[in-house]
């Protein structure tokens, strides 16, 4: 599974690397054209930022790797597939936070949960919780770049969002049930 997945991803990965490189070159060249001091200011800023976030990002990547092997996916699916209502929503939020990895990990998990009978509300709560508070994202990106204070503020505000949206989605399911005849 892993090998075919990687083969598929390779062209896109290379493309994204080229994209970032092009973006860097174009902005650097534009700065240089505008004047040497502007170029140096940009270079110094970038270097300072890198020095500041680099050790954090590397440490966070390590954590993410260990989380992925320490949290068994089968257990998560079993846990969430069976529960519904408030309990299901709450569990969905917690599991969303703990799900490591990018969309390559979380979306197959959502598809699996759906086939096990999880409600739309639960799935929405899970998805939002992962998108807003996923542990890997918080560690690798939010804390190193936005800082601890901003991240804590964002977390305390975001904490109820998945629950809120999950409940709304639950209601919307009833409304859409009559108008759309397509299995969810």
Partner 1 sequence: MDYSTLVIWVIALAMGIAAYYRREPCYREGLTLARKQTLIIIPRLILAVLAAGFFAQLIPTPWVARWLGKEAGLTGILIASLVGGLTPGGPILCFPLIYVFYKTGASVPALMAFLTAWSVLAFHRVLTYEIPLLGMRFVKIRFLSCLFLPPLAGLLTSLVINILHIDI
Shortest distance in whole angstroms from residue 63 CB to partner 1:
5
Which of 76, 80, 137, 163 forms a contact with partner 1 (CB under 8 A)?
137
Cα distances (angstroms) measured from residue 77 to each of 74, 85, 106, 118, 124: 5, 16, 11, 10, 15
Residue 125 CB, shortest distance to partner 1, in Å, is 9
DSSP 147-175: -HHHHHHHHHHHTTHHHHHHHHHHHHHHH
Pick the binder of partner 1 from 11, 36, 149, 178 (CB under 8 A): 149
Taking CB under 8 A as the criterion, which residues in 50-109 touch partner 1? Answer: 50, 53, 55-70, 102-103, 107-108
Pick from 15, 52, 25, 163: which is nearest to 97 by CA? Answer: 163
Establish if 141 lies at the interface with partner 1 (CB under 8 A).
yes
Q: Which of 15, 75, 116, 146 binds partner 1 (CB under 8 A)?
A: 146
- CA neighbours closer than 13 Å in the CB half-sphere of residue 179: 5
The least distance separating partner 1 from the CB of residue 87, rounded to whole angstroms, comes to 19
The yes or no reply on residue 23 touching partner 1 (CB under 8 A) is yes
Q: Which tokens in the block code for residue 170?
A: 């639950």
Binding flag, residue 116, partner 1 (CB under 8 A): no
Is residue 173 close enough to count as binding partner 1 by CB under 8 A?
A: yes
Residue 127 makes contact with partner 1 by CB under 8 A:
yes
Task: For residue 76, give every residue at least 6 positions away whose Cβ sits within 8 Å of its Cβ, in sequence order, or none.
Answer: 95, 98, 99, 109
DSSP 13-43: HHHHHHHHHHHHHHHHHHHHHH-HHHHHHHH
Figure out which of the listed residues 77, 83, 158, 159 binds partner 1, where binding follows CB under 8 A.
158
Of these, 83, 154, 155, 159, which contacts partner 1 (CB under 8 A)?
154
- Position 30 contacts partner 1 (CB under 8 A): yes
113 binding partner 1? (CB under 8 A): no
């Amino acid at each position: 599974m892993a090998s075919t997945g990687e083969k598929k991803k390779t062209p896109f990965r290379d493309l994204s690397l080229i994209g970032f490189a092009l973006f860097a070159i174009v902005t650097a060249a534009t700065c240089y054209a505008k004047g040497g001091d502007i170029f140096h200011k940009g270079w110094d800023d970038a270097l300072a930022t890198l020095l500041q976030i680099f050790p954090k990002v590397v440490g966070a990547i390590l954590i993410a790797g260990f989380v992925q092997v320490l949290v068994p996916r089968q257990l998560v699916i079993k846990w969430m597939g069976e529960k519904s209502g408030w309990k299901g929503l709450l569990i969905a939020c917690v599991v969303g936070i703990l799900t490591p990895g990018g969309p390559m990990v979380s979306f197959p998990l959502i598809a699996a949960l759906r086939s096990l009978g999880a409600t739309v509300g639960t799935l929405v709560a899970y998805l939002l919780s992962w998108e807003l508070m996923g542990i890997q994202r918080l560690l690798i990106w939010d804390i190193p770049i936005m800082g601890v204070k901003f991240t804590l503020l964002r977390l305390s505000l975001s904490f109820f969002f998945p629950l809120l949206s999950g409940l709304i989605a639950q209601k919307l399911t009833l409304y859409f049930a009559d108008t759309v005849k397509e299995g969810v």
